[in-house]
Amino acid sequence: MDLTFLGTGAAFNPEMDNSNAFFTIENEFFLIDCGESTFAKLWNLPQVIESRKINVIITHLHCDHVGSLGSLISFCRFVLQKPVQVVHPLKTIVSLLDLMGIEQDSYHWEPFYTGNKNVSFEPIEVEHVSNMRCFGYIIKTTSDCLYYSGDAKRIPELVLEQFREGKIKKIFQDTSIDITEHPTHGNLSDLEQQFSSTERSRVYCIHLDRDFRQVIKEKGFQYPYVL
């Protein structure tokens, strides 16, 4: 399973676009988050046009993660005429789409992913901000397993344990280089302390607060492929 990113920027770093990623399995399109810049980058992708079903896995409801979800759902319904499944553990996603004017019969909401037996998404609640529950996901296929953080101050211990046991092959962690008094995201200096030089090749930095890709590489971490 190879994730293709549509961007790797944080909310206040629009030059690198929102951190959203996708992959396909058995003619199904799987999108992780759908931020403000996302629809403009995927509406005419061959993988979207040719897929039989669109699945959108949502980590949390900040705009840079759901900002164009309504547009994607409407486009799939009225233009592509394809079913859309939205996955998020909380029904607040339905309330948000209601406020956007997206009718509930335009998509199918599930708190947990159901569908293709060859892929699973295990939500892991993470700490990001005090006024919103947020989730990362352990994503498994028949041949791979990775962790996608969404937005999180730190990597959960469960994820670190499975990573070091070899169960989780890759970690995609939102990463800041600037250190703030009240952090809401992971930080590159914290990753340096957590991961040895031999482990860093399996850790991918995303959701960058500014472009420090060269520093990421110099420290031995990875930067994902961006479309």
The residue whose two tokens read 């607060």 is: 209
**How many domains are there within the chain?**
1
Domain span at residue 40? Answer: 4-218
Residue 23 within a domain: yes
Residue 225 within a domain: no
For residues 213 and 203, what is the distance between their CA atoms, to the nearest angstrom? 13
Residue 129 within a domain: yes
Residue 227 within a domain: no
We report the CATH number of the domain holding residue 18 as 3.60.15.10
Q: Quick one: tokens of 94?
A: 């339905």
For residues 137 and 188, what is the distance between their CA atoms, to the nearest angstrom? 20
Residue 25 within a domain: yes
Q: Quick one: tokens of 138?
A: 């352990």
The residue whose two tokens read 């996603």 is: 93
Residue 82 within a domain: yes
44, 75 in Cβ contact below 8 A? no
Residue 86 within a domain: yes
Residue 226 within a domain: no
Tens of pLDDT along the chain (227 residues) come to 899 999 999 999 999 999 999 999 999 999 999 999 999 999 999 999 999 999 999 999 999 999 999 999 999 999 999 999 999 999 999 999 999 999 999 999 999 998 899 999 999 999 999 999 999 999 999 999 999 999 999 999 999 999 999 999 999 999 999 888 888 999 999 999 999 999 999 999 999 999 999 999 999 999 999 99
